[in-house]
Structure 1
Amino acid sequence: MHLGLEGRKAIICASSRGLGLGTAKALAEAGCDLVINGRNEQLLDQVAQELAAKHNINVTPVAADISSPEGQQAVLNACPNPDVLVNNNGGPPRRDFKELDRQSIQEGVVQNMITPIELIKAVIDGMAERRFGRIVNITSSSVKMPIEGLDLSSGARAGLTAFLAGVCRQYAQYNVTINNVLPGRFDTDRLKGGFEREAKQSGISIEEAKRLSSQQIPAKRLGDPNEFGKACAFLCSAHSGYITGQNLLVDGGLFPSAF
């Protein structure tokens, strides 16, 4: 499908690997000029060069912590008037909620709720003036289904979802949409850490831990970050102007619900 995004400008946060990279690839293929972001400058530069060469687009890498005011400003300086904003960020590490202190809770809320809100505030009025804007927040299936040890991440992302539910409806008349994509289990470095922990605790190999996890998913496999990116890209496209305030589960059927 032709997404109608040629020449558009997109910011994709935390996009040097994983789901952010999958999204950057899909938007690059659609013809968007990109600002990509991550903390590993060498990896980020490599990704930028590869995407620019493959798709003949402009790709600007910004190595920064997107949760910091300085990092946000650096990204916005590189692209002050984006047509597309994809909010993505690492979540707090898995831990029992009783281990969380005030500082770690605040940090988690900044990462997964406050940061995307700040970025949206910075760009949404310009999108409304230009009568085109697509904002996609990569959250988590844990917004709908609790995951043990990820209470802080789940709570912050659910807070973001609720916060934006009213905001998105204020801007729909300007062809600016805000949607959330909720990944389940994808074959990423973040999930690999979980497999390593499970393998150590259970006395099995990492591959066996990965296989057992996959068997719990109706699709019987982990997700591919590239297919996730294509789902995000559709919500960023010219064809998605009548979709806003929605939560798209991309989880291979793991969340058991009829509605």
Structure 2
Amino acid sequence: MLLEALILGLVQGLTEFLPVSSSAHLRILGEFLPSAQDPGAAFTAITQIGTEAAVVVFFWRDIVRIVSRWSLALVRKIPQNDPDVRMGWLIIIGSVPIVVLGLLFQDQIETTLRSLWLVAGMLIFFGVLLGIADLVGAKRRKLDQLTLGHGVIFGFAQALALVPGVSRSGGTITAGLFLGYERAAAARYAFLLAIPAVFGSGFYQLIKNWDEQGPFTPVETAAATGVAFIVALGVIAFFMSWISKRSFLPFVVYRVALGATLLVLLSMGIIQPY
């Protein structure tokens, strides 16, 4: 089982920041591993702590600056309209939808919404939607033009990722493109916005499942989380470089192809939806 956990950690690190849905990949991959079982929402959330730690490392200077200046604004040492202070508040506000919806629909997220039929549909639908957004989006706005209203929209787009197959980065970036933001700006905000939600969800699942025996032992889950962290660092650097020069078309094609393949496998009974 350790090897399976490491493989899943590798896939988590490779797919978390690409707009292809890491949770969908872990859900699908679980069907083809020797144990042939869903790694579960808890395992997915905990390993995401590793990938999100990579975001903290990669954007460390930005995060420290935002947190420090936001804190200074609380004690009125700098004005509230400071760009970093505004960004801090927008990240907080944008995190509210996923927290509320995640708690309200926790049971469905861990059961019904993990159906591979739904995963396949989300991969295709939101893949096409990403392609349309990339095609029609103005791609002119920068992060310093982010408004409160747009921050809320970004937040609800991120919350869609509670459904495997949507993609946290993909949903948020798609919303950003439709709102006219540059590819790199939309991706950067998507990564920063995910920090509170992913750490919150990951540590919540860690505490909740501390005494429960899931598909993997705590040691195996920890090893997978470590692998995810290392791989994710390289993926973030690659992705930020890619979108500064190229479109999202390869990811769109990949999502649609994966979703279509999954539908065929389900229709033929080769794999089961649960």
TM over 0.5: no
TM-score by length of 1: 0.34
**Where is the helix percentage greater, Structure 1 or Structure 2?**
2
Considering Cα pairs closer than 8 Å and 6+ residues apart, tell me whether 1 or 2 has the greater RCO: 2
**Where is the strand percentage greater, Structure 1 or Structure 2?**
1
TM-score by length of 2: 0.32
